[in-house]
């Protein structure tokens, strides 16, 4: 495995601290709504939101594969999907594992990974979260 400690994450505050990779988002207790990425204020009521763990598993709601030249130094082709998170009621838009581009289907369970992938806004190699086939269903 590549040594990842010195590589910056593509965006700050999108993953929970700790050994297992989970998405980090916001939760508004007034609206009972989750947000990703976390905003300073709830998009519905403008109240303060709590930082919360959104988990690392999801089900594919819709998916498409993009075969034109990829932005941000990403490999081509690559798939993107709307995912329904399993831990909380929230649909997120996510990059999928480029190694599995075109192999996803609606209803499939996927899990979060983080690896060096593509470039950040400073055109530096960065760690980027993406979802991929669950390890236990791929082996
Ligand atoms: Zn709210």
70 is a domain residue: yes
81 is a domain residue: yes
**Looking at residue 106, which CATH number applies to its domain?**
2.40.50
Q: Would you say the pTM of this structure is higher than 0.75? A: yes
Question: In angstroms, what is the span from residue 91 Cα to ligand 1's centroid?
Answer: 17
Question: In angstroms, what is the span from residue 130 Cα to ligand 1's centroid?
Answer: 27
Tell me the per-residue pLDDT of 113-127, one tens digit each, with 9 for 90 and over: 999 999 999 999 999
Question: In angstroms, what is the span from residue 55 Cα to ligand 1's centroid?
Answer: 21
15 is a domain residue: no
Tell me the per-residue pLDDT of 124-139, one tens digit each, with 9 for 90 and over: 999 999 999 997 654 4
Question: In angstroms, what is the span from residue 30 Cα to ligand 1's centroid?
Answer: 5
* Domain total in the chain: 1
Question: In angstroms, what is the span from residue 128 Cα to ligand 1's centroid?
Answer: 28
50 is a domain residue: no
Rounded Cα distance between 19 and 106, Å, is 29
pLDDT the model gives residue 58: 98
Tell me the per-residue pLDDT of 17-53, one tens digit each, with 9 for 90 and over: 878 899 999 999 999 999 999 999 999 999 999 999 9
Q: What angle do CA 81, 41, 92 make, to 5 degrees?
A: 10
């Amino acid at each position: 495995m590549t040594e990842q400690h010195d590589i910056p994450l593509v965006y700050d505050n999108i993953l929970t601290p700790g050994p297992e990779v989970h998405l980090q988002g916001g939760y508004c207790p007034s609206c009972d709504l989750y947000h990703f990425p976390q905003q300073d204020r709830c998009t519905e009521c403008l109240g303060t939101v709590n930082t919360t763990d959104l988990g690392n598993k999801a089900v594919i709601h819709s998916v498409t594969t993009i075969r034109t030249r990829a932005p941000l130094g990403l490999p081509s082709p690559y798939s993107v999907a709307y995912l329904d998170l399993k831990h909380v009621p929230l649909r997120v838009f996510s990059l999928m594992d480029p190694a599995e581009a075109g192999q996803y289907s609606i209803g499939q369970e996927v899990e979060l990974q983080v690896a060096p992938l593509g470039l950040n806004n400073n055109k530096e190699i960065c760690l980027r979260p993406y979802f991929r086939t669950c390890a236990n269903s791929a082996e």
